[in-house]
Amino acid sequence: MRTYLDHNATSPLRPEAKAAMLAAMDLTGNASSVHAEGRAARKVLDDAREAVAQAVGVIAPMVVFTGSGTEANNLAIKGAPIERIIVSAIEHPAILESARASGKPVQVIPVTAHGVLDLGALEDALPGPKALVSVMMANNETGVIQPIRDVVAMAQAFGALVHTDAVQALGKITVNFGLLGVDIMTLSAHKLGGPIGAGALIVRDGLALEPLLHGGGQELRRRAGTENLVGISGFGAVATRNMNAVKALRDKLESSLEAAVIFGAGADRLPNTTCFAVPGMNAETLLMSLDLEGIAVSSGSACSSGKVAKSHVLAAMGVAPEISKGALRVSLGWDTTSDHIEHFIAAWRKILARHKARAAA
């Protein structure tokens, strides 16, 4: 039996996404063409755009389809009409690296020991030239939910724009663009059971961004290139789907983690995410041991070239290196069942017992 508990990296394709994609594969037309085949493709594109818009409470023209969440983040960071960039210390590399590559001054705001943005430090950073503040809605490693509405209130007082990477939040908690008050928001399909290769940037009506790609007039001239109709159709099919009630399963899993430190446990977290470590246990060894037991989890972010690398998120939270080197992330998803959790618990107890036996020898 294999148990997949790495949904924050990518979630298995939902049947409805696969069905929509197969149907789109049978279409011939380019969505920019005016003939019947083109109009058929355009309808699929428009329907998917409407579904993504509905998922976050916006109008369809505010949705810019991209090739990934990373591309959407780059468009937000590099395309916003601002003079400097303010980011949190726990952002995804797609934010941190694009900010550094933007050519604009970048200021990094610390987080608390619970992994929550230090709002006082943000307030101190806001005075000055027009800024873009980029703070993720929920952290991909710890699941800690950030105070985006507080960020917006502070930023607006200084005329700053706010971008939030909501890739990990969509489908897990309520994501409403208008209620949050942000100017720009990043989404991705494959974190909620859609296909890899389909992302979106939600852009406040009236806000002009400088495009990354130049060419045709697709996406209201905000992202040139023929749209990935197959991927976008799969995104639309799952955009409004929510995860099953997994918090009880997550809590059951956490109750079995004897002697573990659960990172971010003192803050609001996504209901599907547990990031933990047991002092004296190494993440790479644990990953291999769990894999041999038929269980897939990860160590921190899944965007580190397949390596078990030091977590900049845990470092920002002040976690000691000797503890963070053993950090694992378990993330549940739309198809997680009680049997999967029982499988993990049994395997974890076996691995922990071996560890204790070696330590006692």
Q: What residues are labeled active site?
A: 303
Overall size of the chain counted in residues: 361
CB atoms within 10 A of CB 354: 11
Euclidean distance between CA atoms 353 and 243, whole angstroms = 33
Helix orientation angle between 69-79 and 93-101, rounded to the nearest 10 degrees: 30
CB atoms within 10 A of CB 65: 28
Find out whether 69 and 188 touch, Cβ atoms under 8 Å. yes
Six token digits for residue 263? 């990172």
CB atoms within 10 A of CB 328: 23
| 144: three-class secondary structure by DSSP | strand
Euclidean distance between CA atoms 133 and 62, whole angstroms = 19
Helix orientation angle between 36-56 and 229-238, rounded to the nearest 10 degrees: 40
Find out whether 66 and 199 touch, Cβ atoms under 8 Å. yes
From 351, 349, 350, 332, select the one nearest 341 (Cα to Cα).
332
* DSSP label at residue 146: P
Find out whether 336 and 296 touch, Cβ atoms under 8 Å. no
CB atoms within 10 A of CB 121: 17
Q: Which residues contact 102 (CB under 8 A, 6 or more apart)?
A: 77, 78, 85
Strand ranges (DSSP E) for 47-205?
63-66, 84-88, 106-109, 131-134, 161-165, 184-188, 199-203
From 253, 340, 335, select the one nearest 296 (Cα to Cα).
340
Partner residues linked to 184 by β-bridges: 163, 203
Euclidean distance between CA atoms 38 and 178, whole angstroms = 33
